[in-house]
Amino acid sequence: MTFTVSISQFREQIADYIAKAKEGHTVILKDEKKDQEIVQLVRTKEFNPETFGKALEDASGVFMREDHPEWRTKNDVIRWLKQSRKASDRNF
């Protein structure tokens, strides 16, 4: 859930809004005079090595050498990466 509050409301109930952010909610501080969002307060996720290891195991085998001959060597990968980045550059 997202809570949008003024700076003065946040000051009055700072502990409550920090607790809400810890629970996973988003708290947005808004300057009512300027009608601007100033800050988003969100909980950061903690690194879980077990979950990361499981994700790596699940993803293993997704890319096969035979399916990507353009990535044979390190230089081939660098060349491919530069070309794909250049192709995605856009001028507006």
Q: What are phi and psi of 34, to 5 degrees?
A: -95, -5
Q: What is the pLDDT of residues 36-85, one digit of tens each?
A: 888 898 888 788 899 999 999 998 888 888 888 888 899 999 999 998 88
State the pTM of this model.
0.47
| Bridge partner list, 2 | 26
At 53, the amino acid letter reads G
Unique residue bearing structure tokens 């808004």: 30
Of 15-19, 53-57, 84-88, least confident by mean pLDDT is 84-88
Instruction: Check whether 21 has a pLDDT greater than 70.
Output: yes
CA atoms within 13 A on the CB side of 1: 6
Give the C-alpha separation, 68 to 48, whole Å. Answer: 31
Instruction: Check whether 12 has a pLDDT greater than 90.
Output: yes
Judging by DSSP bridges, how do beta strands 26-31 and 36-41 pair with one another? antiparallel
Domain boundaries, the chain: 2-41
Instruction: Check whether 92 has a pLDDT greater than 60.
Output: no
Confidence of residue 90 (pLDDT cuts 50, 70, 90): low
Close Cβ partners of 65 (under 8 Å, ≥ 6 residues apart):
71
- 6 DSSP assignment: E
